Chains A and B, each alone.
Chain A
Amino acid sequence: MIRLLRLLQGYVLFVAEGGFVERFLNLCKINGISLWDIKNDGVKVKAFTSAKDFDRINLAAERSGMTIIVEENRGLKTFATRNRLRVGAVIGVFLAAMITIYLSGCVWSVEIQEKDGVKPDNFTQTLAELGVKAGARKSKIDILEVQDELLKRHSDLLWVSLNIFGGRAQLEYTLVNEKTPSDETLLPTNLVSAKKGVVTLVECYRGTPLVKEGQHVAEGSVLISGVVANANGTEALVQAKGKVFAKTENVIVASAEGGRPGKVSIGAEPCYGVSFFGTDIPLGRSDSGELSSATRIFCRGYEGQLPVGFIRCDYLSVGDGSIALDDDKQSLALLLECVEDKRSQFEGARLKNVNYSRSLNGGRVSVSAKITCIEDVSVEKTISVEKN
């Protein structure tokens, strides 16, 4: 910072010789002449001083018998004096600055996000008519007015935002979505229980709840009724909405006999090739199977092994078959199958307890799982209305 200030104000590097150095320095100090980077090489003294102080240094030099020689003169004033005849350069710098200032106040590009299959060209024409185009002055663009006008002219626009970042005008928008048709029927419904259990939580959004927490419910019993009593004593039929959570017990049974279906090895197919100086050249190709082993046999010369030889690759072919399992593995496979099959049935349920059991009868393995969980047991059931 100090260097920049000194450069702007201007400074002089001078050499003083021939007199009393100490007296010269003391006289400079007394007269308020600031010196820096003073070096004395035994013959002469070099120092820096500001351009303003240098004008007053001659008095101190005379009184101490020193001769001052200027070695270097730097600063903004010196630079301007040296280049005072270079008018063209000054004009060029000035013009460049003016052009840059002018161009920075213009829009250079208009960017419209492409969304929902709508092409930006739809809005480019409208924006150009409203004054938002390349070359337009930013100060003359009223963003709020442009946004309002865009919404008026394009009825499919739900929301629009115009922002100007530097020289780039960016338009963002959201289209009006088509309303999806409701799949609700007009028939009144009850919410009935799909399983038997003990109610733990009743969430009734619409309708009349007929059960409460702790109550046992059977399969098919009405949980939330679609019949709603009005304040004037009349009744209305509605589509009951809500959730009724109950603690249920579910039993899953699975059994199997013999082996399990799966992929088994049905044979190995050899393929041969040649290895030549590190490069393997196959002499055949196996289209099916996986590589199970590869054997290389190299030729031998008088002094040892040569980098030339033969390769044999064995490819294993697999096919559908039956895998023999012992009772434990068979039980585990049955359990895993059950879990996968019933996964969607218990989606959203909170498992409380699971008990597994296995039984062996001859060659048949049976597994059963007793699952206690808390789940939403409510399902919709249409209320049948008889017309008199």
Chain B
Amino acid sequence: MNKRLIVTDCESVIDYSRDAVVLCLGDKNLRVRGSDLTVNSFCFGQTDITGEIVCVEFV
């Protein structure tokens, strides 16, 4: 099932691959794992990710 994740205050993208997106949130990193991930928007401090999100974790 398609899920949507909105992450605010995202500083930068550390890793962006087919099945994972790692975002830098200042002192922590957020890893979003899944499949067919699409970054709907990446600007103005807000990142919008949709797709088959399986796991969201701080790394």
B-contacting residues of A (Cβ < 8 Å)?
Answer: 21-22, 25-26, 28-29, 32-42, 45
Contacts and interface: CB of A to CB of B under 8 A. Distances in A.
**Residues of B contacting A: mostly:** strand
Contacts of A34: 41-44
Interface residues of B, number: 15
Given A35-B41, A35-B43, A36-B41, A42 B14 contact: no
B42 A39 contact: no
A32 B16 contact: no
Nearest to A30: B12
Interface string B23-56: 0000000000000011111111000000000000
Contacts, number: 52
A32 B17 CA distance: 22
A40 B18 contact: yes
Interface of B: 12-18, 37-44
Given A37-B38, A38-B38, A29 B16 contact: no
- Centre residue among A29, A33, A41 by max chain B CB count within 10 A: A29
Nearest to B51: A39
8 contacts: A28-B42, A29-B13, A35-B42, A35-B43, A36-B40, A38-B40, A40-B18, A42-B17
Contacts of A26: 12-13
Contact of B12 (A21, A29, A36, A37): A29
Contacts of A25: 12-13, 16, 39, 42
Contacts of A32: 43
Nearest to B14: A22
Given A25-B13, A26-B12, A29-B12, A41 B18 contact: yes
B18 A29 contact: no
A21 B16 contact: yes
A36 B39 CA distance: 7
Contacts of A21: 13, 16
A50 to B, nearest CB: 11
Given A25-B13, A26-B13, A42 B43 contact: no
